[in-house]
Copies of this chain bind each other. A is one copy, B any other.
Amino acid sequence: MTAVAHRRVDDTDGRAVDLGRSVDVDTRSEALEAARTDRSGWRAPGQPLAVAKPRSVAEVVATIRWAARNRVTVVPRGAGSGLAGGAAAGAGSLVLDLTGLNRIHRIDPDDALAVVEPGVVTADLDRAARRHGLGYPPDPGSVEISTIGGNIATNAGGLRCAKYGATRDAVLALDMVLADGSLIRTGSAAPRSVVGYDLTSLFVGSEGTLGVVVGATVRLTPLAAHQTTIAARFADVEAAAEAAASIVRAGIRPAMLELLDAATLRAVAALDPDLFATPPAADDALLLVRTDGYGAAAEAAAVEDLVAPVARGIRRTENPDQAEQLVRARRLALPAVERLGAVLIEDICVPRSKLAVAIREIERISAEGGVRVFTFAHAADGIVHPLVLAGSAPTSAAAQAVPYSAQATADAIFTLALDLGGSVTGEHGIGVLKRRWLAAALDPGASAVTAAIKHALDPTNLLNPGKAIGSQDHPPT
């Protein structure tokens, strides 16, 4: 825990302001610098005023009331593991660090739910649930570092999503502090309720622009009784994508359906040469399939029937250690690419039928621009993660002739996603980095409704301005 310098904030006009006796604030330069960015690497212009470190809901309320009175914008922040700049705080803003609200209030094994504070690390909740034979379903890649509050702010997904749902599907009820400092409760602990508008779903994914999550009631699920893991190698990405589609079409509900392209496989092989019996060839693709629950064996047999005729090779195991070895290629994918240089970690989503063409087109964009891209996908959900190597120099003469960049490559990939009827972000959020895609990605009428809701709940644009949604300066009248 960072030491706290003092409990006072000096605002932009140099006035010393006290947030209240009980709210710690940190104004040390290193704390302010850290709050300017997140895992995307994007840095907000200028330094925030201070980092407030509330330890209770009452302290969050006091902090937001202070900010509202003093017209200081508030940037909510969890672990700072976001990938779109959503928690990056710029000049004059107050960072609201929620990691101090990190208690698991209750795990209810009978009703399979948990009541938690926003600063709980997602994997910690999952581990606590496991002691009761339950698990927390969403599993973003950042699960060991990200917080429930951040997961809620971005509607985080993960590998288990296709079967077990994303964060929105797991949240039953929320305690939110709004821009006026009021504390409200949405939803119900009842498994289903249709009382009033679904404010819970509205707040999930709103990236801290409508309110601050200070408590959540989330669903847990029983741990799967059985598990089977299959790894299949294919001659090309089309064959792997078609196999993935055939699995979903057949009514199999895989707990994991991950596709890795040849570039990613080669990066993984470079990091761990012993992982593959035969080194990845130029056009290889890998499909990892996990089935779980009482039907795990039957579903795995059905997967094998579908995949074996078209795969180059196939391995299957019920042994947890061997299973971990099979999915090791997926776990190593991000570190294997990140050691090659700075990467843009993207997350387009395309209709499943467009998965193969999306990956092929990404390869073409990579080759034409001379910027290396490594792609893997949550195939059952159509989510494609192209890792665009930002640090690499253009490798083709054509690319060197034009000022091609990692960002231009990413932009070409976003255009591709929209052309294929997909989305520019399937699970990371808009944040700052994808705001300029909103005009193309969002219906103008939906943008107007978004602005009207933002204006209704936060008329002075206090909460996380410049994030997630379009211009907040001119709400419709």
Residues of A whose CB lies within 8 Å of any CB of B are 108-112, 133, 154-155, 157, 161, 166, 168-169, 178, 182-186, 188-199, 201-202, 204-206, 210, 221-225, 245, 248-253, 293-299, 301-302, 349-353, 381-383, 417, 421-430, 434, 438, 441-450, 452-453, 455-457, 468-469
Contact = CB atoms under 8 A, between A and B. Distances in A.
A419 B65 CA distance: 33
A198 B201 CA distance: 7
Given A178-B449, A450-B199, A193 B251 contact: no
B425 A194 contact: yes
Nearest to A382: B191
A343 B117 CA distance: 43
Which of A168, A185, A198, A245 counts the most B-chain CB atoms under 10 A from its CB? A198
Number of copies: 2
B351 A111 contact: yes
DSSP class of A's interface residues: helix, strand, loop or mixed? loop
Contact of A196 (B161, B297, B350, B447): B447
Nearest to A182: B445
Contacts of A445: 178, 182-185
Contact of A161 (B192, B206, B442): B192
Contacts of A353: 108, 110-111
A184 B133 CA distance: 44
B382 A449 contact: no
B251 A196 contact: no
Contacts of A166: 192
Nearest to A186: B446
A222 B202 contact: no
A469 B196 contact: yes
Given A190-B421, A192-B382, A443-B185, A450 B206 contact: no
Contacts of A251: 221-225, 293-294
Nearest to A110: B353
B195 A453 contact: no
A202 B192 contact: no
Which of A157, A183, A185, A445 counts the most B-chain CB atoms under 10 A from its CB? A445
Contact of A298 (B194, B195, B297): B297
B449 A199 contact: yes
A320 B455 CA distance: 55
A241 to B, nearest CB: 12
Contacts of A206: 197
A186 B299 contact: no
A206 B198 CA distance: 8
The 7 closest A-B pairs by CB, nearest first: A295-B295, A184-B445, A193-B423, A222-B251, A201-B201, A110-B353, A456-B456
